[in-house]
């Protein structure tokens, strides 16, 4: 198909100096070309080529430059465009000028129809005997029928013309024979008729290839007969023979010059042209030279043929080597593409690897013609399968990136809603969470990636700029609080330094001092030691009060844990909770043990010393338990 050939042409490039494709003839013709041949066999082969070229030769109809009709990229067109292009070509140009164009259009059209059919069958596997019903298909069939009809008419006209030219040449041969054999003409009349026949012969036009050599040989035979009659005017005959000999020698020298050239395609075309010129444009020579010059020309022809044969033999070997190289590359390509990447980075590396193999494949050049379609299809199908997997991955990736985009847009919405929040603790935690989530989401479409990142970062930066400004402000306030607390503690120490055994303050006074201390605010972490000093001072005040030891212990405990709570020192609060819980559990075990011991005392005597001691221990431990449970309840009341 033309479209496939076009693609394949990019793959295989073996051109001569003129930019024309060079490839050895295929199958039987190729085998014959590589065989050793005799001189006569070589010449016969050349003569057949000349006959073929003669039939296909175009007759000059005009001196104007022919309009160039470009061949478009038909495989990239849809059915409607292909139909329109075929219509305008058939309407505007003769069929012999657009044969290649229309055949490539048909190949592309058939490919499109096949693709549409396969697509429908893949989407509707249950439908049988399906045929596309598209108007363009029906119209194209009619158009193609019209083209074939015009082409057949053109070929018939050509054939009729060839037959007419053949008849004209046969008549000229008969006229020449009549001129030679007639006794009615004088020498001058016979020569005049001969020259007129030669003139008409040169313009008689092409003829069927199967008659070409016989007709020319017959004409040349009678032409030589005519010159043999010129004994009456030897000077004229010798002059003509000498001119013809010089022409033939010039042709031989030209042929010898071809042996020094490298463009085999050009050499062979030139050799055919020289044989055609020898046959059609040169006349007979003297008898003593006829065989000699012809044998010399045949020998040069044989040398050129051998040069061409050796070239194509070497080219055939090169093509076989190219085939092996391409088969190796295809195996490598299949191995490389057998493992399907799972992420973008691996896909990009795999694509580069495949592209490297493809470039190497294209650089190799032609393979034998009989293997070309197969090797190209195998290579192309492997690439196609790889591209299908690649497209599937990136289509899925595109969907995933679309989902990621929605998620990130959701995070941007949260960030923009919170960026002016003054719920510092809650908002800061939320911003940290959405920043971590942003990192985990993955890629979004590249065209919006930078835009949404800037949008998200702007909202985050806006909030944290405000947050750090707030923190700096709080730090300043905390240092102010520290200075105030330091002054207040010094003031308290001064106030209570004269107190002796006679205490003139109460628990309420101490609670008021503690309340005022709290009102002075937080201090920086590095200055929290001031709170420990204050607690020590308060405990010293408690110690001087005449109150129950357990109550005093609880007040000191409360003062300590309150300070932990104010500072947000939850680690120490948790440690206190664990310690109190363990203490409660330990006391409960002691009480349980004492009660068990009492069960083993059999005496009902209330004055039994062992029983009294056991009851005393239980009562004591119950009091201690109540004290520690009070601590436990207070810790539980602190909601943190």
Q: For residue range 304-357, what is the model confidence (pLDDT) as tens digits?
A: 999 999 998 998 999 999 999 999 999 999 999 999 998 889 999 999 999 999
Of 155, 160, 165, 154, give the one whose Cα is nearest residue 207.
165
Q: What integer is the mean pLDDT of 244-250?
A: 95
Tokens of 385: 């399968």
Q: For residue range 584-602, what is the model confidence (pLDDT) as tens digits?
A: 999 999 888 888 877 776 6
Non-local CB neighbours of 518 within 8 Å, separated by 6+ positions: 566
Give the lowest-confidence range in 135-149, 345-359, 495-509. 495-509
Residue 9's pLDDT is what? 41
Three-point CA angle 195, 197, 199, nearest 5°: 70
3-state DSSP assignment of residue 262:
coil
Residue 251 and residue 274 in contact, taking contact as beta carbons nearer than 8 Å: yes
Residue 56's pLDDT is what? 56
Residue 489 and residue 537 in contact, taking contact as beta carbons nearer than 8 Å: yes
| Structure confidence at residue 1 as a pLDDT band (50, 70, 90) | very low
Non-local CB neighbours of 157 within 8 Å, separated by 6+ positions: none
Q: What integer is the mean pLDDT of 182-195?
A: 84
Give the lowest-confidence range in 22-26, 162-166, 448-452. 22-26
Q: For residue range 83-140, what is the model confidence (pLDDT) as tens digits?
A: 999 999 999 999 999 999 999 999 999 999 888 888 877 777 776 666 778 899 999 9
Three-point CA angle 5, 10, 15, nearest 5°: 95
Q: So where are the chain's domains?
A: 2-58+70-322, 402-458
Residue 371's pLDDT is what? 92
Q: Say how far apart CA 305 and CA 332 lie, in whole Å.
A: 40
Q: What integer is the mean pLDDT of 620-627?
A: 92
Give the lowest-confidence range in 185-199, 236-250, 315-329, 390-404. 185-199
| Structure confidence at residue 62 as a pLDDT band (50, 70, 90) | very low
Residue 589's pLDDT is what? 92
Q: For residue range 533-576, what is the model confidence (pLDDT) as tens digits?
A: 998 898 888 888 878 888 888 988 998 898 888 878 889 999 99
| Structure confidence at residue 28 as a pLDDT band (50, 70, 90) | very low
Q: What integer is the mean pLDDT of 34-62?
A: 60
* Cβ-based burial of 531 (10 A; exposed 0-12, middle 13-18, buried ≥19): buried
Residue 16's pLDDT is what? 38
Tokens of 318: 């090169």
Tokens of 561: 């844990």
Q: Say how far apart CA 264 and CA 23 lie, in whole Å.
A: 11
Query: Count of H helices and E strands in the chain?
Result: 20, 0
Q: For residue range 418-464, what is the model confidence (pLDDT) as tens digits?
A: 999 999 989 999 999 999 999 999 889 989 999 999 999 999 999 99
**Using CA atoms in the order 612, 618, 624, 629, what is the torsion angle rounded to 10 degrees?**
-160
Percent of the chain with pLDDT over 90: 47
Q: Say how far apart CA 532 and CA 178 lie, in whole Å.
A: 147
Residue 60's pLDDT is what? 42
> Which pTM was predicted?
0.47
């Amino acid at each position: 198909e033309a479209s496939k050939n076009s693609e394949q042409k990019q793959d295989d490039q073996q051109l001569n100096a003129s930019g024309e494709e060079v490839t050895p003839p295929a199958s039987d013709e190729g085998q014959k070309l590589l065989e050793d041949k005799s001189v006569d066999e070589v010449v016969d082969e050349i003569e057949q080529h000349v006959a073929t070229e003669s039939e296909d030769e175009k007759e000059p109809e005009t001196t104007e430059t022919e309009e160039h009709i470009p061949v478009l990229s038909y495989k990239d067109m849809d059915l409607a465009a292909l139909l329109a292009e075929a219509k305008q070509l058939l309407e505007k140009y003769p069929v012999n000028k657009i044969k290649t164009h229309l055949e490539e259009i048909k190949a592309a059209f058939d490919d499109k129809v096949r693709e549409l059919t396969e697509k429908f069958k893949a989407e509707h596997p249950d439908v049988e005997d399906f045929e596309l019903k598209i108007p363009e298909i029906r119209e194209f069939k009619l158009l193609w029928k019209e083209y074939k009809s015009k082409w057949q008419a053109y070929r018939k006209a050509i054939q009729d013309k060839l037959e007419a030219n053949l008849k004209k040449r046969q008549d000229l041969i008969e006229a020449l024979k009549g001129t030679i054999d007639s006794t009615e003409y004088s020498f001058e009349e016979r020569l005049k008729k001969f020259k007129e026949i030669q003139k008409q012969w040169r313009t008689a036009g092409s003829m069927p290839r199967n008659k070409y050599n016989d007709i020319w040989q017959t004409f040349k035979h009678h032409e030589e007969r005519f010159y043999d009659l010129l004994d009456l005017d030897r000077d004229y005959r010798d002059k003509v023979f000498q001119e013809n000999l010089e022409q033939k020698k010039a042709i031989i020298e030209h042929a010898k010059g071809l042996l020094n050239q490298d463009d085999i395609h050009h050499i062979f075309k030139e050799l055919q042209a020289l044989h055609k010129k020898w046959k059609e444009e040169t006349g007979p020579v003297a008898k003593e030279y006829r065989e000699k010059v012809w044998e010399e020309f045949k020998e040069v022809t044989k040398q050129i043929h051998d040069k061409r044969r050796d070239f194509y033999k070497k080219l055939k070997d090169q093509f076989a080597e190219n085939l092996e190289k391409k088969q190796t590359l295809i195996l490598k390509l299949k191995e490389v593409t057998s493992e399907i990447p799972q992420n973008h980075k691996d896909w990009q590396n795999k694509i580069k690897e495949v592209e490297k193999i493809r470039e190497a494949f294209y650089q190799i050049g032609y393979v034998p013609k009989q293997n070309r379609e197969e090797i190209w299809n195998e290579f192309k199908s492997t690439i196609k399968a790889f591209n299908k997997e690649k497209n599937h991955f990136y289509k899925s990736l595109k969907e995933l990136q679309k989902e990621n985009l929605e998620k990130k847009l959701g995070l941007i919405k949260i960030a923009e809603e919170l960026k002016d929040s003054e719920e510092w603790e809650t908002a800061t935690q939320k911003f940290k969470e959405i920043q971590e989530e942003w990192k985990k989401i993955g890629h979004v479409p590249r065209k919006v990636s930078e835009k949404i990142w800037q949008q998200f970062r702007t909202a985050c930066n806006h909030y944290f700029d405000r947050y750090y400004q707030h923190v700096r402000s709080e730090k300043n306030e905390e240092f102010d609080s520290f200075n105030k607390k330091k002054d207040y503690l010094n003031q308290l120490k001064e106030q209570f330094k004269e107190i002796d055994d006679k205490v003139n303050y109460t628990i309420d006074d101490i609670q008021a001092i503690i309340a005022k201390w709290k009102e002075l605010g937080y201090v920086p972490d590095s200055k929290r030691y001031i709170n420990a000093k204050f607690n020590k001072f308060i405990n010293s005040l408690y110690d001087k009060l005449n109150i129950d030891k357990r109550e005093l212990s609880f007040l000191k405990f409360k003062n300590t844990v309150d300070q932990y709570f104010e500072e947000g020192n939850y680690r120490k609060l948790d440690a206190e909770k664990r310690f109190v819980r363990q203490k409660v559990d330990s006391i409960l075990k002691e009480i349980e043990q004492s009660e068990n011991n009492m069960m083993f005392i059999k005496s009902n005597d209330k004055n039994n010393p062992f029983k009294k001691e056991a009851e005393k221990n239980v009562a004591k431990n119950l009091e201690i338990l109540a004290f520690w449970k009070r601590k436990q309840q207070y810790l539980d009341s602190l909601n943190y």
